[in-house]
Structure 1
Amino acid sequence: MKLRLLTLAAMFAALSAIGAFIKIPVGINSAALDTVPSLLSAAFLPPVYAGAASLIGHLSSSLYVGFPFGPLHIVIAAEMFLILFVYTKLHQAGRNILKWVFFIVANSVLATLPFYWIISPAFFVATLPGITIATVLNAGIAIIVSPVLERVMVRVKNHA
């Protein structure tokens, strides 16, 4: 069972790394589609594994652009782990609307808030719109794909 979970987590982390290559310019930074696979992994994985896939996805996305915030990317990766951990818990509890509200608020505002003090208030204000657009874009794609993925899961279980 653990091998299956590790394999699935590695696959979702790899999909996150691929999503990191899909960049959409927003504001002073760019939005990557590296979070979509992690959001979808909530249907397959326990919270720790979904969080780990998200953590690896962020680090791969950061590696692709050259770690512009240096060691602060470790903080961001830890935030992504926690956000996806809670998101997966909410998904498993059947809190479908709350999980999306939580993800959007946590990934855009709460995850960016520490940088108000770490870097500067101006950085926070300049980054927040782009991060919010990226978050909504990732969530929107996952919202569209999730029902299709869940139907496929039901079909696979019925034919197995």
Structure 2
Amino acid sequence: MKGKKISILALFIALSAVGAMIKIPAVVDSIALDSFPSMIAGVLLGGISGGIVACLGHLLSALMGGFPLGPFHFIIGLEMFFLVYFFSLLYRSRKKYIAGIMFIVSNSIILPLPFLFLMGKGFYTGVIPSLLIGAIINAAAAYLLLPRLQSIALWKKFSP
């Protein structure tokens, strides 16, 4: 990775940290607006870059919330990496609406499935509404900003 791309990646990680401070009222204090910078980074810089921002953004959000789920946050960070990676692949292949729907459904229903078995049905059903609201807000912010940012010629240098 070149120095400029690392600097831009650090900028998106910092934006994700700012989004991590904007919490959504939930059972778990790590649901925040930390995903939309990673979605933007994934589309502009590539899926791996977006995945790195997503993983680190979730870990920062969890850290600010006191790591309420303990080491399970590392699993969630890995899930977020792959979610944003696949989101960026779909978005870049001109399947923008499918990418958004996949992000919202996966983030709110599919990714928390391991917790159905680890923590029970009550936790799973209790966290879904907050995750759904958070996923919709994160996706909406990304979809509002992406068309405006894609027109900037600077990103074309760093795109894979």
Q: Which amino acid aligns with 1:18?
A: V
CA positional deviation for 1:42:
2.2
CA positional deviation for 1:156:
8.2
Instruction: Please give the alpha-carbon distance, in whole angstroms, between the structure 2 residues aligned to 1:120 and 1:44.
Output: 38
Superposed CA deviations along residues 43-81 of structure 1, whole A, max 9, x for unmatched, are: 321211110011000000000011000000000000000
Compute the TM-score of the two structures, normalised by the length of structure 1.
Answer: 0.89
Instruction: Please give the alpha-carbon distance, in whole angstroms, between the structure 2 residues aligned to 1:150 and 1:156.
Output: 7
Instruction: Please give the alpha-carbon distance, in whole angstroms, between the structure 2 residues aligned to 1:155 and 1:118.
Output: 44
Partner residue, 1:41: 41
Instruction: Please give the alpha-carbon distance, in whole angstroms, between the structure 2 residues aligned to 1:51 and 1:119.
Output: 26
CA positional deviation for 1:35:
0.7
Partner residue, 1:70: 70
The alignment-based identity, stated in percent, is 35
Instruction: Please give the alpha-carbon distance, in whole angstroms, between the structure 2 residues aligned to 1:101 and 1:72.
Output: 25
CA positional deviation for 1:154:
4.5
Q: Does 1:126 align with 2:126?
A: yes
CA contact (8 A) 1:6 1:49 kept: no
Instruction: Please give the alpha-carbon distance, in whole angstroms, between the structure 2 residues aligned to 1:156 and 1:23.
Output: 29
**Superposition CA RMSD, Å:** 1.8
Instruction: Please give the alpha-carbon distance, in whole angstroms, between the structure 2 residues aligned to 1:49 and 1:146.
Output: 16
Q: Does 1:28 align with 2:27?
A: yes
Superposed CA deviations along residues 90-131 of structure 1, whole A, max 9, x for unmatched, are: 122111111101101111111111100011111101111111
CA positional deviation for 1:134:
0.7
Partner residue, 1:80: 80
Q: Does 1:137 align with 2:137?
A: yes
